[in-house]
Each structure stands twice: as structure tokens, then as C-alpha cells.
Amino acid sequence: MKFAVIGCGFWSNFQISAWYELDGVELVAVCDSDLAKANQFAKRFKVKSVYQTADELFKNEDLDFVDIISGVNSHLDLIRMAASKGIPVICQKPMALDLKTANELVSFCQERRVPFFVHENFRWQKPIRKVKEILDQGVIGEVFKAKISLCTGFPVFENQPYLARMEKLIIADLGIHLLDMSRFLLGEMRNICCNIRTVNKDIKGEDVANILMEAENGTSCFIEMSFASILEKDYFLETLIMIEGAKGSIYLGPDFIVKTTTKKDPLLAKLETKSEHVGVDNYSWADPDYAVAHASIVETNRDILNALQGRGKCETTGEDNLKTLELVYAAYESAKDARVVSII
């Protein structure tokens, strides 16, 4: 399948390298308003065509899909442009800065029967898939409580300086992954309560958020996130998870150790703990500080490609991602008004 990439920034380096891990795709064009950057990418990835505007790109190329890796403010125009031409679209998270625009985007593509995918990669991390696999085996019984945590001092602003200027920061950038993960692991949520705080005064948006949700099946889910943590040992972008059920618990701890603890007889104290280390794929192009996140890009792309080639249904369609975005914006609404927000 012939595809083009729009946007040649930090994340595109890894996104394109991840595409190159898969068979059946050919990157035929790159596009960026900064032509020098686009040329650099074309040289590095041996891409034939370079464009400065999406108009020129869509006019000249015959594409099977387009991967939009540019800033969120450009998504609306670019997705409309691609979908109007019937070209399947992938875009980065968040797909839009408000729910109304996100709904418009999804409807626009649906009306034209154009496949639309959101590149949501965290649920594709190997340790997260492992937790889901154990959960689905039912060994911990009926789940009643979960905690998902990613608190770090990781210097995200060094590689993605635009994040420092985002009015809505940590929930829209990082929390979106954790909220999507909570849906993947626990199902849909029915209400949400959130508080936020800006610790680093040099940035515009919030860098700390605590979210408490209740799933439709009654499971209570707490998500904590921070870009302001100063820790003795920082696990950067590793998500830590604890899920508790009536018969046991699953703990995803530092360094990708998954511990499943079960109790055979509820009346006896005896416990059994199984410990597994989940190996994360090591790609030469991945930044070691982002290793687990970068490896998951390959799996996300694979899932999207399977859908594009008619071999399956992608998990992270635009339609599915609307439900994650609903949680993102409900969290902000809750924090603003200090109230519990229902998800309809």
C-alpha cells in the first residue's frame, strides 16, 4: 500500500521507522510546511516525493492511505481534505481539541465511507497486552478496583516543546493514553471525577491530574498522572497497574514485571504469586527512554494495516477513540467545576 506522511517532527521519526518494520507498505511522499525538514526526512527514509502543502500532495499522489503526524490544530483541515478524496486517514492523538470537532471528523469520514483511525499506541504496549490476557483468563475473579499510574519527571518538553504551550496538557497528551487503557482493560465508564494542578509554572497547562471513575460494571478505577514528579528512580514512560478481583490481583510493576496473586480458598490465608517478566521489543531506531512506547507504535500500525488490507477490525478507529476523548473532556469539565460528570 502506498502512503504519505504529513508532518516531519519528532514523533514522525519513530512513526516512519515503525512503518518500515512492516511488509506491504511503501512511503511514497512526505509533506511539511518546513520544506527543509521534509527534504531531510525524504533523504533519511529514501522517499521519492516531497511536498510543502497537503494540497500539492493530494493533487499529485495516488495514495492508499495517509498518516497525519502533524499538530492537533491541523487535523480538521487535513482529515477533511483526505476524506473528501476517499483516502483512508490515520491521525495522532488527540484527534481534536474538543469533542464537537472530534464528532464532526468521525461523521465526515463515516458519511464518505472513508476508514479513519487514531494512532493510540499505549494499549498496544506488550506489558499492557499481558495484563489484559491474564484478566481475560478470569483467574482473579470479578474485578472490583483498579489503579493506573504514570508519574514521572521525564523531560517531555525537551523533545516536544509545543507541549509547554498547550492550554490543556497532561490529560490531553498522556492521560488520553491511560483513559484509553482503562476502557481497554475494564470496559466503558459511567462517571468521572478529576482534579488537576500546574506545578511547573513555566508551562501553560496542567502537569498533574488525578482521576476517579466508575465503570459501567461498577469497577472503581483510579488514574494518577504527573509530569512534575521528582523520584529516586524514575521509570519514565512505564505505566504501573494494580487490578484487584474477588479471587486475586494483577500487578504490573517497574521493569515490566507482572505479578498475578491468587487465593484458591477464600477462607484460607494461603496465596500463590506468579511472576512474569514481559520482554519489550528492542528496535535500533527507538529512543531507549521511550522504548516501550516506541515498540508499541509498530503494533498499532500493524493493527491499522490489517484493517486497511481487509484482514481484521482495527481497535483504535476514530469512532472508538471518540469514547476515550469523551473521558478526556469530561475529566476537564469535572476539574473545572469540581463535580462528578456522568458519561452518557
CA distance 291 to 289: 6
Please identify, using beta-carbon distances, which residue of 173 and 299 lies nearer to ligand 89V. Answer: 173
Q: CB atoms < 10 A from the CB of 338, how many? A: 9
Is position 156 an interface residue for ligand 89V (rule: CB under 6 A)? yes
Please identify, using beta-carbon distances, which residue of 173 and 303 lies nearer to ligand 89V. Answer: 173
Please identify, using beta-carbon distances, which residue of 108 and 256 lies nearer to ligand 89V. Answer: 256
Q: How far is the CB of 129 from ligand 89V (least distance, A)?
A: 17
Strands 89-92 and 116-119: parallel
Q: How far is the CB of 16 from ligand 89V (least distance, A)?
A: 16
Residue 200 half-sphere exposure toward CB, CA atoms < 13 A = 23
SS3 51: strand
Q: How far is the CB of 159 from ligand 89V (least distance, A)?
A: 8
Q: How far is the CB of 261 from ligand 89V (least distance, A)?
A: 30
Q: How far is the CB of 254 from ligand 89V (least distance, A)?
A: 18
**x/- string (CB under 6 A) for ligand 89V, residues 167-186?**
------xx------------
Please identify, using beta-carbon distances, which residue of 155 and 254 lies nearer to ligand 89V. Answer: 155
Written as one string, the DSSP assignment of 270-285 is --EEEEEEPPPP--TT
CA distance 157 to 202: 11
What ranges make up the beta strands (E) of the chain? Answer: 2-6, 26-31, 49-51, 65-68, 89-92, 116-119, 143-151, 189-197, 208-215, 220-226, 240-245, 248-253, 257-262, 272-277, 341-342
Q: How far is the CB of 237 from ligand 89V (least distance, A)?
A: 6
Please identify, using beta-carbon distances, which residue of 260 and 301 lies nearer to ligand 89V. Answer: 301
Cβ partners under 8 Å of residue 251, min gap 6:
241, 242, 243, 258, 259, 260, 261
**x/- string (CB under 6 A) for ligand 89V, residues 284-303?**
---------x----------
Ranges within 192-251 binding ligand 89V (CB under 6 A): 237
Counting residues that bind ligand 89V (by CB under 6 A) gives 6
Residue 231's closest CA among 122, 149, 123?
Answer: 149
Q: Which residue is nearest to ligand 89V (CB)?
A: 174
Please identify, using beta-carbon distances, which residue of 13 and 260 lies nearer to ligand 89V. Answer: 13
Please identify, using beta-carbon distances, which residue of 160 and 195 lies nearer to ligand 89V. Answer: 160
- Nearest 10 degrees: Cα torsion 172, 174, 175, 176: 60
Q: How far is the CB of 341 from ligand 89V (least distance, A)?
A: 23
Q: Give residues in contact with ligand 89V (CB under 6 A).
A: 156, 160, 173-174, 237, 293
